[in-house]
Amino acid sequence: MYKTIFALFLTSLAFANITANAQDNDPNMGIVPAPVSVKKATGQFVLSQETVLYADSNTKAVSFFTDYIQNRLNLRTQLKIGDAGSAANSIVLTAKGTEGLPEQGYRLTITPQQIIIAGKGAGLFYGIQTVLQLIPAERAASIKIPCATIEDYPRFGYRGLMLDVCRHFFSVEFVKKMIDVMAYYKLNNFHWHLTDDQGWRIEIKKYPRLTEIGSQRAQTVIGNYHDRTPQQFDNTPYGGYYTQDQIRDVVKYAADRFITIIPEIEMPGHSLAVLAAYPNLGCTGGPYEVGTHWGVYDDIYCAGNDSVYLFLQDVLDEVMALFPSKYIHIGGDESPKVRWEKCPKCQARIKQEGLKDEHALQSYFIQRMEKYLNSKGRQIIGWDEILEGGLAPNATVMSWRGIEGGIAAAKQKHDVIMTPGEYCYLDKYQSRSPNEPLAIGGFLPVSKVYSYEPVPAELSSEEARYIKGAQGNVWTEYINNTDYLEYMVYPRAAALAEVLWSPKEKRNYDDFVNRLKVHTGRLDLKKVNYAKHVFEVTGKITGSDKGVQ
């Protein structure tokens, strides 16, 4: 037993040395994403029971920090509203000293006597996150934070992560945990994929059958969608949804961490769960059942049926009441036209509106819904298929089928969120090891995520202004539990966070991986089941992140 305890002590000591050495040798002080400017200084600020917290006012960023110090670090620090002056052993949260800072930026000054975090709104919050990253993962009697001066702000305003809860459902508690880790890495948009063929996950009070029927599937395909012919199923009912009260709770929780939640309500495709609940909204009238396998289904909303648009307006009214976000995501992807080609109502709509074909009918569908959302003061985001048949006037495009959709939209002067599958789909394999758990396919190591450049070279400097940022997407066909989801997301999402925050010229993969040495301990404290492909068992860096070849 004593040998085991001693071995654990040596392992802990070795990791502490790795962490200390990583910070000592790291110009970015272990901070992810790397700040714009870091000037190290000698000495340390000691955060202790005697530390006093001062703030201009008790904003939500200040409340977050106070709660963290008191309840996470178990310090009795008290908040005082007012000017700290030069009070020793104090932390100052202030909007003063932010002149010339870009939006979401902050200035951080750490001396042995005082920490000053200067920022407004989100900027102050991000300065706080940087301070939290400077707190050693190894807890001691006193918390020593190295002295430095940091000026920092993001390269892109939109830094996103998407979670699909339709293929597999995840609890409110886990979604909040995911939001916490996003905030830690300064990601600021959580795209919540709430409806799809395999399940409807949001309570709509006017249409209760959406959750009574649409949230439940009879069974789920076993293994990879393409593995077996015929397919095999688990014969186990599967379901789940969020009540409106739960959604309000999560939206507030995210807002308190300066994260906007963007809901996605799929249309006109990926709507089989809706049709199972309300078959009159499809072209054939059914019968339909909630999807039990992955892939694309032919049955979609009937674009010639006015009841469809009235239904979606009712749904969106309740969605907008829950989500204050500027954007509502309406999907628009993978909508087969085979039903529309044979549907008398859809063909009559094409003729009535003078449309060229079924692709133009989809554009009509999207533009009609966009006009409704615009009339409510909202804007739509859609996957890049919404370019087909003519782009809706005010739409923002998410470019997922490569970068071409983003290029086309930017050239048409539309805002773009880049999310190409080659770099941003976090449901792909992370290594070539035969021991990797089942994934959708493809290979996306951390190094490739980090190499991504969101602004296509094909765009002029004027066109590049329409690239608002990028997003990592977590599709969950094969991700059926929280441990596996975290394994797929981190550290790849941290790599993307640095791509989107840090100056392009400052990015350095070797430096990023070196900083991950520190973050393994931090993620362990957060109980995040991150992937360790860039590490050996000891926590030292390997020569490759490709796993066993």
**Active site amino acids:** 196, 270, 334
- SS3 state at 177: helix
Residue written as tokens 């990797």? 436
State the number of CA atoms in the 13 A half-sphere of 335 facing the CB: 32
Rounded distance, CA 97 to CA 104, Å? 14
**For residue 154, which of 79, 102, 215 has the smallest C-alpha distance?**
102
Report whether the peptide linkage leading into residue 33 is cis, meaning its omega lies within 30 degrees of zero.
yes
Q: H or E element: which one contains 254?
A: helix 244-255
Q: Which strand (E) or helix (H) includes residue 134?
A: helix 122-134
- Alpha-carbon distance 98 to 233, whole Å? 58
Sheet order of strands, 37-47 included: 37-47, 143-152, 106-110, 114-119, 90-94, 52-55, 79-81
Is 184:64 a contact under the CB 8 Å cutoff? Answer: no
Q: Show the DSSP H helices in 263-402 as ranges.
A: 272-277, 306-322, 338-342, 344-353, 358-375
Which token pair is 322? 């829950």
Which candidate, 418, 380, 379, 424, places its Cα nearest to that of 398? 418
- What gap in Å lies between CA 222 and CA 238, rounded to an integer? 13
Phi-psi region of 270 (alpha: psi -120 to 50; beta: other; left: phi over 0): left
Q: Answer whether 238's CB lies under 8 Å from 219's CB.
A: yes
Beta-carbon contacts of 98 under 8 Å, excluding residues fewer than 6 positions away, are: 105, 106, 107, 118, 119, 120, 123
CA distance 272 to 224: 21
